[in-house]
Chains A and B, each alone.
Chain A
């Protein structure tokens, strides 16, 4: 998700190609080519320019609708609806071959990871580990981070878990639906959006961090120095 105003000019983007299975966009105004995953112009008059990221979540529709009942949803285009992916497309994607010049085998190439990039440091969290261990209290570079998987088992959010200058530890409140987290220091209760809803810290909001759900091969290609979270992996 990218803001489209670059150097005071609004750009209009088109799908224009593919680079090791991550697509290239072309802007109508200058004809420059942009890499989708990094938002960077890789060729053309704007080469080196970067799009400003608009933070986004990747959630199940049910979770999003509960949080944003007044929001709006993109309608399908009836002319091409037959060409949309089917409901089981994620399972099918697992069988699509991977073509890339980057061949790192630390994790399976199509392992679904939640990728976190923060001030030059990057770490990938396999979704199956997150779903089993959520919430995960971790550290990336100097930043204490918190990764939380929603009630649906698929939505994931990351937060900076610094509270009043100290790294807070979060636990899951047993049998709470929708899910509630509890911080160890104050016992306050927090919801999936990172807001304290009960206890001494009620009303406080954790700073959300951008997460990218991606395949390991793609994440690794664009974050070659990435770490891989594997605590508790078998």
Chain B
């Protein structure tokens, strides 16, 4: 049911773990099936320099998390905001239809992290 690329990202996930001194942390959970992804970003000059993730979920959830981390490294945060869950699934060469709805949540977690980062910066400015 999963293609080779998905299996590869599942078995050898890239960028797993936490990031010390992360500039942004984001999280997204699927209330439908319980899958949850947490993402950590290191951002310099509005560019994503490093990224790590932790995911609770099925094979598709883990593979799409890993895929996304490869896609965002080096991108500006504006570019990263443009990435959709569908882009991640496409980059993986497709996911089973049912998984598109419940386990494809990496872009949502990323967007959450970037939103948190922007809010944080605004707060700093206001201070």
Instruction: Indicate, yes or no, whether A interacts with B.
Output: no
